[in-house]
A and B are shown apart, each in its own frame.
Chain A
């Protein structure tokens, strides 16, 4: 049905795709896997002929008996949304904020089948029902901002599938969602494809996701197809070195050594580093009416948490479960509404400035997005040394020496000192962020989704680094993530958070193998795992 031959693409002067060949039969599911910059999304946009300005393509893209490459606008407009539907990554921005969801679904229906408004609305309602948003609860008059990310992605699927296309292209449709939503959306996509007999091209950076859903697979890197064939065979045999590398990276578990604690730390080992008791954090909501205040939203609901020196505890939960709010309170960036958080017996909420500064030296943080976590205007020396502010005045030489030392710890050389953050790749920046967290020699590092924004191979390297640092420096980690797989790689114990409460606490193995709470079950079930996906296929 879809046949791409020798597709070459350049944007401006930069070559993007080289001799890409793709073939897809009706009713089959093809996965395109690759890390960022591999050209997988641009391959998809080439099929839709929605390439950015300045793009030049050559080769052939045949869909049925029609040539799509450089086809006329009129032909493509007939095909798009009718014969080929597409779903994008970012559900929060992919829908028009000022149009109701009904209008947005009906628009394509009216355009392509020329039916009346009423008929289109009826069809739109059917589609909403089909994607799991029954119109009795989610009327057509809803606006996108009244829906959650997962629900919006369902609306996107309804839009893309409204005309029963022959081919559906899904470009990282679940990357912006947490694992449970990801599982739901993948299930939905799979069942739509089976029911309607559509072909599906699923683009993802995640081998495990692709392994769950696809019949065939295509591995891309730097604009080239490196490996392709039936999913099971390719992933089981892992003949191509890059495929093997990706597979290993995606289920990578760093070698674990117990941290070497100094005598000092061992003495302290019996006393907890951080104790949080009955922590509650409420946020005010909008007023319900002129005279009634809205009921406050309880983001964190009576949480107890104890961290001993050298421990590495994972805090997992779906987005919005309150884990980041808890982290901010541990970092003393936010205060609990009630309850207490004590670091080495000092209550962070009531501590005076001096005590607080002292505690801050021992509690550092690494954020998720390596691009957002540095002031783009400063050089590395200044960026990494920022927490040294906590130690009062330090001479320039001393500062440079300490920064160079921290850089060395994370595997960067001192030549980085005078560079700006944009001169580094995402993985290197995350190393810089870790260097910044290390520079005050802290006891505790809060890691807030530190690898979620990284490609799998980089992710593996950063996880190795984190494990190594913990062992060598005797660090304590509070590791926050929505991804149980990553947490398992680095933590001994896991706490599962749901709706502001900690619903389960245990070792990684216990929770993975025998989850008790429904939240933990959901997470375990939804966590993409290459081995399990392959095993499941064999059974099925």
Chain B
């Protein structure tokens, strides 16, 4: 058990290290000199060189990599070239949009998907199952940004119940902020819920075909009791895996939905930073997101241990 944790932790750190190198190298080979981009094409060579020096761009790559990594370890993610504020502050400003959005979407997706998947599995082949399968099949096919557009047309443009975009900020009131996040969250949640419901159903059906389910039935348990007491826990591993992937996706992959609803989230921050060649922001934010995703994967792995005693023994 401790051995397993030690191994897992080592691999996590190694993955982080490799990821940091990959990110750094990727941005090294980016065409376009940040200093040149910032100053515009009319700048003289001298001013560009001076700016490069002040940004530390004249240092050799290894030096810059090391100072970047050591900085991050001390909580210093550098300073944005364009905004002239520490990256940490930028991120803090944006995460209060992205994180609640991801959490709300994950919450909505989960509370819809799990019961729906359970019902479909319990009524396998019945009308409810067929209907659920058809709807989820459609749900998976809908791109979330288009669904966002449709939702905003209906609820913001036609009905005018909710704002069509923008974010007032939490200081403007919790309710107003939640209203602003509602449509994007629904747009994100729908395809995720469809996927999760299908995974839940197929995982349950697979476990329902196992021999131990027949054993439980032979004990006198009803179909319903077997589903809840025996099938559900065994079906949890694939469901947890997908939920972990979805949370990672929702946190980092909302970039397009943020464009649809003009939300000042992390995705848009990176998007703008890329076009402005504000590389230190791109580097640091992507690194943070990668770290979060790796942390989520680790958490999912640990959750497996809780669910499945076999894994506790094997590692």
Residue of B nearest to A108 (CB): B219
Chain B: minimal CB distance from A41 (Å): 11
- CB atoms of B219 and A73 under 8 A apart: no
Q: Is the pair B214, A143 in contact by a Cβ cutoff of 8 Å?
A: no
Interface-centre pick from B3, B219, B230, B313 (highest chain A CB count, 10 A)? B219
| A-B contacts, CB under 8 A, total | 85
The distance from the CB of A142 to the nearest CB of chain B, in whole angstroms, is 10
Number of residues of chain A lying within 8 A (CB) of chain B:
36
Q: How many angstroms between the C-alpha atoms of A145 and B314 in the bound complex?
A: 10
B214 proximity list for chain A (CB < 8 A)? 50, 88, 94
Question: Within the complex, what minimum Cβ distance (angstroms) separates A186 from chain B?
Answer: 20
Q: Verify B3–A96 contact, CB threshold 8 A.
A: no
Inter-subunit contact A86/B218 (CB<8 Å): yes
Would you call B217 and A98 a contact (CB within 8 A)? no
CB-nearest residue of chain B to A48:
B218
Q: Which of A74-82, A340-348, A494-502 contacts B (4 or more CB under 8 A)?
A: A74-82
Q: Does A160 contact B (CB under 8 A)?
A: yes
> Which residue of B218, B233, B307, B314 contacts A85 across the interface (Cβ within 8 Å)?
B218
The answer to whether B211 touches A94, judged by C-beta atoms less than 8 angstroms apart, is yes
Given A50-B214, A88-B214, A289-B3, A98 contacting B308 (CB threshold 8 A)? yes
Verify A80–B310 contact, CB threshold 8 A. no
Q: A98-B234, A107-B229 are in contact. Are A93 and B220 (CB under 8 A)?
A: no
Let me know if B215 and A156 touch, CB within 8 A. Answer: yes
User: Does the CB pair A108–B234 fall under 8 Å?
Assistant: no
Per-residue CB contact flags for chain B residues 22-43 toward chain A (1 = under 8 Å, else 0) read 0000000000000000000000
Do A96 and B313 have beta carbons less than 8 Å apart?
A: no
User: Is B222 positioned at the interface, with any CB of A under 8 Å from its CB?
Assistant: yes
Q: Are A97 and B212 in contact (CB under 8 A)?
A: yes
Whether A290 and B2, one on each chain, are in contact in the complex, defined by CB atoms closer than 8 angstroms, is: yes
Which one of A93, A96, A290 has the greatest number of beta carbons of chain B within 10 Å? A96
Alpha-carbon gap, A71 to B314, bound state (A): 44
B:300-315 near A, CB below 8 Å: 307-310, 313-315
- Assembled-state Cα–Cα distance A138/B69 (Å): 52
Query: Among the listed A85, A107, A287, which residue makes an inter-chain contact with B221, where contact means beta carbons less than 8 Å apart?
Result: A107
From residue 124 to 151 of chain A, which have CB atoms closer than 8 A to chain B? Answer: 143, 145-146
Give the complex CA separation of A326 and B127 in angstroms. Answer: 55
* Minimal beta-carbon separation of A33 from chain B (angstroms): 22
Contact A97 to B234, CB < 8 A, known contacts A80-B220, A146-B313, A290-B3: yes
Q: How far is the CB of B125 from chain A (nearest CB, A)?
A: 8
Segment 478-523 of A: residues with Cβ below 8 Å from B: none
Contact with B along A156-187 (1 / 0, CB 8 A): 10011000000000000000000000000000
Taking the closest CB of chain A, its distance from the CB of B145, in whole angstroms, is 39
Instruction: Give the chain A neighbours of B46 by CB distance below 8 A.
Output: none
A96 in complex: contacting residue of B215, B218, B220, B222, CB < 8 Å: B215
CB <8 Å contact, B218 and A160: yes
B219 touches A98 (CB 8 A): no
Query: In the complex where A98-B233, A98-B308, A290-B6 touch, is A111 in contact with B219 (Cβ < 8 A)?
Result: yes
Q: Assess whether A143 is in contact with B310, with CB atoms less than 8 Å apart.
A: yes
How distant is the Cα of A94 from the Cα of B230 in the complex, in angstroms? 12
Distance of B121 from chain A, by nearest CB (Å): 14
Q: When A145-B309, A286-B314, A290-B6 are in contact, do A94 and B220 touch as well, CB less than 8 Å?
A: no
Q: Is the CB of A90 within 8 A of B221?
A: no
Measured CB to CB, the closest approach of chain A to B223, in angstroms, equals 8
Query: Is there a chain A Cβ closer than 8 Å to B216's Cβ?
Result: yes
Residue on B nearest A288 in the bound complex, by CB: B3
In the bound complex, residues from chain B placing their C-beta under 8 Å from that of A79 are 220
Q: Is A112 an interface residue (CB 8 A)?
A: yes
A99 within 8 A of B: yes
Residue of chain A at shortest CB distance from B216:
A96
- Provide the residues of chain A in CB contact with B210, threshold 8 Å: 93
A93 CA / B212 CA spacing, docked (Å): 6
Q: B3 contacts A107, CB within 8 Å?
A: no
Cβ-neighbour of B307 out of A82, A90, A93, A98 (below 8 A): A98
Q: Smallest distance from the beta carbon of B130 to chain A beta carbons, Å?
A: 16
Contact: A95 with B212, CB < 8 Å? yes
**Chain A residues near B221 (CB-CB < 8 A):** 77, 81, 107, 111
Per-residue contact bits, chain B 1-29, to A (CB 8 Å; 1 contact, 0 not): 01100100000000000000000000000
Closest CB in chain A relative to B295 CB, distance in Å: 23
Q: What are the residues of chain B within 8 A of A108 when measuring CB–CB?
A: 219-220
Known: A97-B234, A290-B3. A159 touches B313 (CB 8 A): no
Bound Cα distance A80, B230 (Å): 17
6 closest pairs, A vs B, by CB?
A81-B220, A81-B219, A108-B219, A93-B211, A80-B220, A96-B212
8 contacts between A and B (CB under 8 A): A73-B222, A77-B221, A78-B220, A90-B211, A97-B308, A98-B309, A287-B3, A290-B3
Residues of A near any B CB (own CB < 8 A):
48, 50, 73, 77-82, 85-86, 88, 90, 93-100, 104, 107-108, 111-112, 143, 145-146, 156, 159-160, 286-287, 289-290
